[in-house]
A and B are shown apart, each in its own frame.
Chain A
């Protein structure tokens, strides 16, 4: 049980750390970002709820208040889910804008993440089984090269080939203007067509980290004494590979799951930007381009918390799957 308690404790601490980091970054900047935003909002000439303006202040900084008082204010606003008003999408609040973008990213990132993990792990296990063959060499060297291709560049090439040259799939957006977003079959077909290319751009490099990790772990576990013992007992190569090699090798891949997620969030942001996909990543970059600090800070906070939660889930799963992890912490 100590293992789980420790993991949850670490999660709470990192959550606090991320929330505090999000508080400190705007306050370390030389200017007064809150003032800049409030002036811009005022120039937009319309009614703004004073609570929203206050939330912008709480998020980005109050010039005369003590840091501690600002911190308390900031936490209070977070607890009430009040993130302020977006400058770009005025008069909508940050919460509204993010609420629209979040499902797109969850579907895109969630699908590609799980598919990458499954495909990468299976392929890695297969390559490890056929280790030191020509097939292994081609896959290992080839994917090492493929893994260096930038996400956004692959996205550009896919658009060039499949959207512009061949005209098979749409080049941008999450759905076409012709279809009303809603739970209708037409909308799903339309969204699916818009989903394919961005997902493909992520999936080309996505599985590679897990594949190489799985291959190396499994080559190591197949060289261990317990595998040699299994072979001495006369177990078939297939049983050895699955029960002795893959079962042990998959564990570090699970801890890698959450860490890779951080990188994939960045990759997805770039891909969304290229495809003009209506998700969180594109929204973040748009917020940065417009110096829409409240929106930017909130998206940063959301993506960090999302990764932290995924991290906790992977840690807990790891504890369930690997008795050694639990025992080590208990000892």
Chain B
């Protein structure tokens, strides 16, 4: 979107059309500035950056290969094994560091899938209205009230071969979109009859142009909030599913670490580190995302900006 704007006019030229100005208002420095000024969002962004670094640098940060077994099982934390070893003789610290990759990967991909579905369904329903809206809204409300975890578990049970990470990603992606779709539909309803949209319609712009070029830029912060929330939800869902043994238990993730900790009796043998660390990392990563969302909310709602 930004690239297309720049193609047509140099960045320094004053923008005239209202949509262009809106696009410009969301250019990198300004939105980053507003986010950065919000203390909670700043904390969230720094924390998220640390997790991204941890995931990216996992091969260099981790003292051992997370799949290298054969250490004495159930060792307490020491200088060699920072967080001890698991009941199956893996290094806990290495698994925790590599686990960041799985969580971020699942979160981003599943979050993207559910955001894309939410956008497609919410915007179509809201913009077209009529019978299409009735049918899509019904579908949305249906998915919204069906309890998510049982639905995910049941879907996963039928997918071939027990599935690995990708099956989990797909299951999370196709079950988690309903709330966001409803928000987007509500938002588009308030936008679709604005003057500039009617103007575009009368100028003969196609539906795709109106929805993606005229309406979507005004929903940027809503979409971003929805996406970040979806990423957080997907990270939590992955951990929950892994913990109950859905997906491949040999995947290195915080959820599978807790699964194995529970299986091999870490509770009884005092494997406190491998119990506490994965859960705490999960909570911190989700907190980072939640706090960033406080700032993104402030982007769209100036009332929230004051503090």
Contacts and interface: CB of A to CB of B under 8 A. Distances in A.
A18 interface: yes
A30 B243 contact: no
Contacts of B157: 288, 291, 293, 296
A152 B149 contact: no
A167 interface: no
Interface of B: 40, 138-139, 141-142, 144-151, 153-160, 179, 232, 236, 239-240, 243-246, 258, 261-262, 267-268, 272, 275-276, 278-279, 282-283, 286-287, 290-291, 307
List 7 A-B pairs, minimum CB-CB distance, nearest first: A266-B149, A153-B279, A29-B158, A148-B286, A265-B147, A17-B142, A262-B147
Interface core residue of A152, A153, A307, A311 (most chain B CB under 10 Å) = A153
Contact of B158 (A25, A148, A307): A25
A150 B237 CA distance: 9
A235 to B, nearest CB: 24
B20 to A, nearest CB: 33
Nearest to B157: A288
A285 B153 contact: yes
Interface stretch (A118-126, A243-251, A269-277): A269-277
A16 B156 CA distance: 23
A308 interface: yes
A141 B262 CA distance: 30
Interface in A1-58: 10, 13-14, 17-18, 21, 25-26, 28-31, 33
17 contacts: A14-B145, A17-B138, A21-B146, A29-B159, A33-B158, A149-B279, A150-B243, A152-B258, A153-B278, A153-B279, A153-B283, A269-B150, A270-B243, A274-B262, A285-B153, A296-B154, A297-B154
Nearest to A308: B145
User: Dominant SS at the B interface?
Assistant: helix
User: Dominant SS at the A interface?
Assistant: helix
B148 to A, nearest CB: 6
Contact of B149 (A28, A265, A308): A265
A131 to B, nearest CB: 11
Contact of A25 (B154, B276, B282, B307): B154
A68 B243 CA distance: 38
Interface string A120-141: 0000000000001000000001
Nearest to B144: A259
A157 B146 CA distance: 29
Contacts of A259: 144-145, 179
B142 A156 contact: no
